Amino acid sequence: MNNALFRSVVIIIAATLLCRSTLAKITVLPDEEIDHVDDSAPPFYQECKKTSDCPASYCCVLGMMRYQMPFCLPIGRLGDPCHPYAENNYRRNFTLNFPNLEDGVHIEESWLLMCPCAKGFSCSKEDATCRKNKTD
């Protein structure tokens, strides 16, 4: 399976997890571009508690499935789907509450639903895909 197809399958799977959320507390973090991109073979599924738990060119993403733990997804590159309104997708800290855990699970510097576009790319509001930034 080629990398573009794999990324699309992973993003489609993540998008299907938009059912419900167990978010209790959200803290907004300052915007920061992710500038590391490589083509290493991705893990099929890797849980994370922060983006630094993921391989290079991946970020830690929280889906919307009830009691779901965050997982690593590839950072958006040319043509990849993205969230066109940056104010709705930014790095955050989460506290996830589960019925059997009193203090919850603390997640740091993670994204909601999908990773941002890689450095040098931005999300097009026309078709919600990552496109190369235009140089002046």
The letter for the amino acid at 111 is W
Is pLDDT above 50 for 9? no
Q: How confident is the model at residue 136 (pLDDT cuts 50, 70, 90)?
A: very low
Residue 68: per-residue pLDDT: 82
3-state secondary structure of 44: coil
Token look-up 């500038």 returns 35
Q: What are the CA-CA distances from residue 47 to residues 80, 88, 120, 129 (Å)?
A: 22, 23, 27, 25
Structural domains for the chain: 3-132 (2.10.80.10)
* Predicted local confidence at residue 21, as pLDDT: 37
Looking at the predicted structure, is the pLDDT value of residue 15 above 50?
no
Say if residue 125 is exposed, middle or buried (CB neighbours under 10 Å; 0-12, 13-18, 19+): exposed
Closest CA to 72 of 29, 104, 109, 101: 109
* Average confidence (pLDDT) over 78-102: 79
Eight-class DSSP state of 123: E
* Segment of 8-12, 18-22, 36-40, 67-71 carrying the highest mean pLDDT: 67-71
Distance CA 50, CA 129 (A): 24
> Is pLDDT of 27 > 50?
no
Confidence of residue 89 (pLDDT cuts 50, 70, 90): low
In DSSP terms, 61 is beta-bridged to: 71, 111
